[in-house]
Amino acid sequence: MSPADLPSASRIRIVLVGTQHPGNIGAAARAMRTMGLRHLALVAPMRYPHADAHAMAAGADDVLASALVTDDLETALADCHWVIGCSARSRRIALPTLGPREAAAQALQQAGAGLQVALLFGRERTGLFNEELQRCHAAVQIPSDPEFPSLNLAAAVQVLAYELHSAALRDVETEHPQRSRLDPPASHAELEGMFGQLEQTLAAIDFHKGREPASAMAKLRRLLLRADMDAREVRLLRGVLADAQRMARLAQPQLQPSSAADGLSSPPALG
């Protein structure tokens, strides 16, 4: 059995965000195909489809033909349970940072347990934005010369694809059993729905007290992602949030009925 035949390979998706040069898309497809990976997603590519992509794919046209092309990252990650963001440098986001080999091993372990895994790569010039990295469970950094750390997009895909292939080879050679957890983690779409409801709830209960909410939400995101919740746990927490929202609505001051004597309404009670 080759690594490409492992069920885990079908659960690993390479996601390219905002790719500027179509040749890089083709070269990334070729890098994937040589290592047994076939599932590619393209988020808002600047020029695609394009002849340069097929030229640089050098025969990996099946990867391009089956690629998911979407305008937004949420669609590309909706069914994913574990997301790794490839970043060349620290963006002051408190994510666990893995090396390529460790990231590949963990990705294969998650995929082998029946989960959908995504490896996220950003734009050639600017990489992933902070709000995109916040969607990730971990970041992976490829060690390079600090005096020249710039790595071509397709080359970065090749490094991670090679490490995934090598980790899969080790699994094949050792016939390592891959165990499934009883309750798989919640999907990206389920988590994002919960985070949206959490943000609304915090506003409803005036949690921020006039402070900028982004910082608190980023910390809560990291905390809840570390919890590795399954779908039932997400539904439980969303039920708690729904009750909190209901109580917040009940606590809002209501206008009193008009006075029959003077025809004036009583002022609302002060909160």
Question: pLDDT tens digit string along 60-95?
Answer: 999 999 999 999 999 999 999 999 999 876 667 788
User: Which residues have CB under 8 Å from 64's CB, separation 6+?
Assistant: 25, 26, 29, 40, 49, 53, 54, 57
- Cα dihedral 192/195/199/205 (nearest 10): 140
pLDDT tens for 148-180 read 988 999 999 999 999 999 998 887 766 544 445
Quote the mean pLDDT of the chain: 88
Smallest CA-to-CA distance from 11 within 103, 82, 61 is with 82
Terminal alpha carbon distance of the chain:
68
pLDDT band at 239 (very low <50, low <70, confident <90, very high): very high
> What number of other Cβ atoms are within 10 A of residue 10's Cβ?
14
Full set of structural domains in the chain with CATH: 3-174 (3.40.1280.10), 188-251 (1.10.8.590)
Separation between Cα atoms, residue 230 and residue 234, nearest integer Å: 6
| pLDDT the model gives residue 161 | 96
pLDDT tens for 104-129 read 999 999 998 999 999 999 999 999 99
Smallest CA-to-CA distance from 49 within 26, 29, 72 is with 26
115 is written with which tokens?
Answer: 């989960």
| pLDDT the model gives residue 94 | 82
pLDDT band at 8 (very low <50, low <70, confident <90, very high): confident
Whether pLDDT at 266 is above 60: no
| pLDDT the model gives residue 254 | 58
| pLDDT the model gives residue 170 | 83
pLDDT tens for 43-57 read 999 999 999 999 999
- DSSP H helices in the chain: 22-34, 51-57, 61-65, 73-77, 100-112, 130-133, 153-174, 188-204, 213-226, 231-251
Smallest CA-to-CA distance from 79 within 33, 108, 111, 103 is with 111
Query: Model pTM?
Result: 0.77
| pLDDT the model gives residue 267 | 43
Buried b (16+ CB within 10 A) or exposed e, 142-172: beeeeeeeeeebbebbbbbbbbbbbbbeebe
In the chain, the percentage of residues whose pLDDT exceeds 70 is 86
Strand partners, 207: none
Whether pLDDT at 197 is above 50: yes
